[in-house]
Structure formats: structure tokens, C-alpha cells
């Protein structure tokens, strides 16, 4: 077997970042196919003498605590780079990060036969350059949401274009924009559609009622769960506006999980719509607990403006729950049957309201949904990545 190098943001040993959990899960499922996997994770480094105090220190604390660690045949190496890289006149973030990656490879004498980078603009160019410098194949997974990747291409962002044109093979999590990316970026590289997945081993096995009892949720009331890092693109306000349109006697309880970056807009809209008894904003929760909330729900709802392929969709299906979402990214390629969930045009309040009503009145088949979702388990996604992309490159 061979050795794999992964270049990406990565979770600290004691804090699994929801934002990058899909990279961590993918690395775990690729372990059987390699003798050794090394993850090099660039991260801002703040020397002790520069440590700020008060609120700023609290925001940076987790990043500063990142320490190298290992599990199984995986070694995680954090590559510290100056926090001002790309933020002062004349500096370039992409080129500023590369020396940190290069030093980490040299310091630990990292050997590898293939490099796989995640996130185009952040690390795609670095993976391609490492591949050229060390004479090994390079693969890039393009995770970005549809609007974001096209915006970078059209702006002529040099590192995005270089990443798409110079890596040997690309993986796109959304099949619906592959040809558009190819045409607008000018890349001639092979592009494989392989979506993200979910950790089947983490899916709770207790029934809906048992999960509700464990979480202290009402047993009889319909419950919708929505999980996101609540930025504008995730459109939390449309969820609240649509919920307010549903008739009060049968209105579901909406549980919103994830980091709230709305700057008070979510709380304000809840008050404006009189939804204090219908919405609970629960903040960030561990991944296992999020899956418990999904199992306790009647449906998982997210109506984003743009996506690559929403991870919460795969987790919802894996929990046997329908996904109600906007027709963005690869949603339509996954919800190929209305028995799996429903989708409509983004930013369309009338459509979302209709979908929510349908979700409440549909008799969903939990077993059918969970059975369909098995193809998206990380074990199966890892097998596809190895068999369809890595193995041909390594044998060639």
C-alpha cells in the first residue's frame, strides 16, 4: 500500500470542528487503503509573547491549543503560519502559507506517494505545487458552494484558477456544475463527481420517541431540525418567515442548531413573528448530539442560497429523516425520489411554506430513506475515492 498526504484545515484532537468534520471523516474512512496518512493543517500561529488578552484571546484560544496528534495510521501535523499572511500590503496568503507547509514536511520527514487537498482557494494550489515539487500525483476536492466557486473563477483569482488547472485530478461534490466549472475555468483535468457522506457508525439507533425523551422534547408535537453555521448564505430568516405562515395549532417546533453568526437577526425575527414558543435556538452541539436531534425530528430543513452539497442532507437521510431544502448544489442529484425529501427554488418563501406543509402531512418511510442513504456512508464514499481516483493514479 501507499502513503497519502492530505492538505486541509483540520480539527484539533480535543475539538471536532463542524466546519471541517467532512475532511476528518473522509480521512478516517481512507485508513484501510494506505500504510500511512499524514495530514498537514495550516493554522495561524501566535507566539506566547504575542498572545492577546480578554475577548480576543478567547477567540484565538482554540487555535493556539492545536497540537500534533495521531490516531491509527494517521498523523496530524499543524503547520503554523504568521496570522498577518495575506493581510498586510504586498503579502499573498496562498504564497505565505506554502513555506509553513514545506517546513512541516521537512521537519517531520514526511514521505508520501499522493497528495490530496481540500478547499480550492484555500489549499488547492498548495497541493498542486507539492505534487510538482515532489513528483507525485495531486488531487483536489472542490467543496465550495456553487456561487462561491464561480465567483472566484470569474474574478480571475489566481490561486483558484491555478488549483483547478494544475492538480492532476479534481473531485467535485456537486455534479450539477461540473461542466460550468470546466468551461469557465479552462481546466482540462478529469473531474469526478463524488459527494460527501455521513458517519453511519454514529447514527443513533433509538426511536424518535426515545430520542425525544432523552433530549427533553415534546413527544406529540411535530419537530423540524435545522443545522448550519448561520451566515447569510444559509438564510435562517426565511425558515422563520415560513414557519410563521403555518397554522398555529399544527405548527411544528423548529430547533436551530449551529453557530449563530446572524448578529442578532435571528432573535429579532423570532420576536417580530411572535415565534417565542415555536423556535429554540440551541447553538453549537457535538456531532453525536446533532444526530440525536435529527433522529428526534420529523424532518430536517435547510433553505440555503447556495451549497456544494450540504452535509446535513446526508446526515438527515442516514438518520431516516426526510430532507427539506432548496434546489442548490447537488441536492437534486441526491433527492431523486420524493420519498426522500422535497426541494424548491432558493429564496422563495411561498415554495418553502408549501414544502413545510407537505412535510407535515406526508407519511415518511424511515426504512426506505435510511436504506437509500447507505450509499453515502463514509465507508462507501471512501471506497469510491480510492477505487475511482487514487488507485488509477498510484498504479499509473
Once rounded to an integer, what is the mean pLDDT over residues 359-383? 97
In this structure, are 357 and 209 located in the same domain?
A: yes
* Per-residue pLDDT at 9 exceeds 70: yes
- Domain range for residue 61? 2-197+377-395
| Mean pLDDT score across all residues of the chain | 90
Once rounded to an integer, what is the mean pLDDT over residues 188-201? 96
Whole-number Å distance between alpha carbons of 307 and 309: 6
What is the share, in percent, of the chain residues with pLDDT greater than 90?
Answer: 80
pLDDT recorded at residue 396: 79
pLDDT recorded at residue 122: 84
pLDDT recorded at residue 18: 56
Q: CB neighbours of 162 closer than 8 A, spacing ≥ 6?
A: 124, 125, 128
Give tens-digit pLDDT for 313-345. Answer: 999 999 999 999 999 999 999 999 999 999 999
In this structure, are 166 and 299 located in the same domain?
A: no
N-terminal to C-terminal alpha carbon distance within the chain? 14
In this structure, are 146 and 238 located in the same domain?
A: no
CA-CA-CA-CA torsion sign (165, 169, 174, 177): positive
* Per-residue pLDDT at 363 exceeds 60: yes
pLDDT recorded at residue 10: 81
Q: Do 1 and 40 touch, CB atoms closer than 8 A?
A: no
In this structure, are 280 and 209 located in the same domain?
A: yes
Cα 49–Cα 53–Cα 55 angle in degrees, nearest 5: 145
Give tens-digit pLDDT for 106-121. Answer: 999 999 999 999 999 8
At 63, the pLDDT band (50, 70, 90 cuts) reads very low
Once rounded to an integer, what is the mean pLDDT over residues 5-24? 75
In this structure, are 210 and 127 located in the same domain?
A: no
Whole-number Å distance between alpha carbons of 207 and 370: 13
Q: CB neighbours of 151 closer than 8 A, spacing ≥ 6?
A: none
Once rounded to an integer, what is the mean pLDDT over residues 54-79? 70
pLDDT recorded at residue 85: 64
pLDDT recorded at residue 57: 45
CATH code for the domain in which residue 359 is found: 3.40.50.2000
At 67, the pLDDT band (50, 70, 90 cuts) reads confident
Once rounded to an integer, what is the mean pLDDT over residues 199-211? 94
Once rounded to an integer, what is the mean pLDDT over residues 204-230? 96
At 97, the pLDDT band (50, 70, 90 cuts) reads confident
Q: Tell me which residue has cell 481546466.
A: 187
pLDDT recorded at residue 172: 97
- What backbone phi and psi angles, to 5 degrees, belong to 177? -120, 15
pLDDT recorded at residue 127: 96
- What backbone phi and psi angles, to 5 degrees, belong to 92? -130, 120
In this structure, are 213 and 88 located in the same domain?
A: no
Secondary structure of the chain in the HEC alphabet?
Answer: CEEEEEECCCCECCECCHHHHHHHHHHHHHHHHEEEEEEEEEEECCCHHHCCCHHHHHHHHHHHCCCCEEECCEEEEEEEECCCCCCCCCCCHHHHHHHHHHHHHHHCCCCCCEEEEECHHHHHHHHHHHHHHHCCCEEEEECCCHHHHHHHHHCCCHHHHHHHHHCCEEEECCHHHHHHHHHHHCCCCCEEECCCCECHHHCCCCCHHHHHHHHCCCCCCCEEEEECCECHHHCHHHHHHHHHHCCHHHCCEEEEECCECCCCHHHHHHHHCCCCCCEEEEECCCHHHHHHHHHHCCEEEECCCCCCCCHHHHHHHHCCCCEEEECCCCHHHHCCCCCCEEEECCCCHHHHHHHHHHHHHCCCCHHHHHHHHHHHEHHHHHHHHHHHHHHHHHHC
* Per-residue pLDDT at 132 exceeds 60: yes
More confident site: 28 or 20:
28
Other residues' Cβ atoms within 10 Å of the Cβ of residue 265: 15
pLDDT recorded at residue 54: 41
In this structure, are 303 and 169 located in the same domain?
A: no
In this structure, are 23 and 157 located in the same domain?
A: yes
More confident site: 197 or 95:
197
In this structure, are 192 and 331 located in the same domain?
A: no
Least confident range of 87-96, 174-183, 200-209: 87-96
* Per-residue pLDDT at 44 exceeds 80: no
Give tens-digit pLDDT for 164-183. Answer: 999 999 999 999 999 999 99
In this structure, are 271 and 175 located in the same domain?
A: no
Give tens-digit pLDDT for 230-265. Answer: 999 999 999 999 999 999 889 999 999 999 999 999
In this structure, are 381 and 371 located in the same domain?
A: no
pLDDT recorded at residue 81: 78
In this structure, are 41 and 121 located in the same domain?
A: yes
Give me the number of domains the chain comprises: 2
Amino acid at each position: 500500500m501507499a502513503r497519502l498526504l492530505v492538505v486541509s484545515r483540520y480539527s484539533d484532537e480535543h475539538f471536532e470542528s463542524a466546519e471541517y468534520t467532512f475532511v476528518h471523516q473522509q480521512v478516517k474512512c481512507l485508513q484501510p487503503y494506505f500504510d500511512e496518512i499524514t495530514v498537514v493543517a495550516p493554522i495561524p500561529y501566535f507566539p506566547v509573547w504575542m498572545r492577546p488578552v480578554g475577548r480576543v484571546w478567547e477567540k484565538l484560544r482554540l487555535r493556539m491549543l492545536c497540537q500534533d496528534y495521531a490516531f491509527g495510521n494517521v498523523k496530524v501535523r499543524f503547520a503554523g503560519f504568521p496570522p498577518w499572511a495575506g493581510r498586510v500590503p504586498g503579502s499573498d496568503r496562498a504564497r505565505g502559507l506554502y513555506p509553513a507547509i514545506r517546513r512541516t514536511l521537512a521537519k517531520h520527514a514526511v514521505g508520501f506517494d499522493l497528495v490530496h487537498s481540500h478547499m480550492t482557494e484555500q489549499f488547492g494550489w498548495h497541493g498542486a505545487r507539492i505534487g510538482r515539487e515532489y513528483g507525485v500525483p495531486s488531487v483536489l476536492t472542490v467543496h465550495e458552494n456553487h456561487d462561491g466557486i464561480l465567483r472566484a473563477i470569474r474574478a480571475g483569482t489566481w490561486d483558484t484558477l491555478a488549483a483547478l488547472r494544475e492538480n492532476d485530478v479534481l473531485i467535485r461534490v456537486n455534479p450539477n456544475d461540473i461542466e460550468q466549472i470546466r468551461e469557465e475555468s479552462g481546466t482540462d483535468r478529469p473531474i469526478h463527481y463524488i459527494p460527501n457522506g455521513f458517519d453511519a457508525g454514529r447514527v443513533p439507533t433509538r426511536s424518535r420517541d426515545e430520542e425525544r425523551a432523552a433530549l427533553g422534547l415534546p413527544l406529540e408535537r411535530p419537530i423540524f431540525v435545522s443545522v448550519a453555521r448561520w451566515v447569510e448564505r444559509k438564510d435562517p430568516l426565511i425558515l422563520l418567515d415560513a414557519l410563521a405562515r403555518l397554522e398555529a395549532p399544527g405548527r411544528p417546533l423548529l430547533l436551530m442548531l449551529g453557530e449563530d453568526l446572524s448578529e442578532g437577526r435571528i432573535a429579532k425575527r423570532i420576536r417580530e413573528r411572535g415565534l417565542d414558543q415555536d423556535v429554540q435556538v440551541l447553538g453549537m452541539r457535538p456531532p453525536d448530539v446533532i444526530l440525536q436531534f435529527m433522529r428526534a425530528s420529523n424532518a430536517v430543513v435547510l433553505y440555503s442560497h447556495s451549497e456544494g452539497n450540504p452535509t446535513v442532507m446526508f446526515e438527515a437521510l442516514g438518520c431516516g429523516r426526510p430532507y427539506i431544502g432548496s434546489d442548490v448544489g447537488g441536492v437534486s442529484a441526491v433527492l431523486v425520489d420524493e420519498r426522500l425529501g422535497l426541494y424548491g427554488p432558493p429564496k422563495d418563501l411561498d415554495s418553502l411554506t408549501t414544502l413545510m406543509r407537505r412535510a407535515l402531512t406526508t407519511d415518511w418511510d424511515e426504512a426506505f430513506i435510511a436504506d437509500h442513504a447507505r450509499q453515502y456512508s463514509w465507508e462507501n464514499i471512501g471506497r469510491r475515492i480510492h477505487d475511482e481516483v487514487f488507485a488509477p493514479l498510484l498504479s499509473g
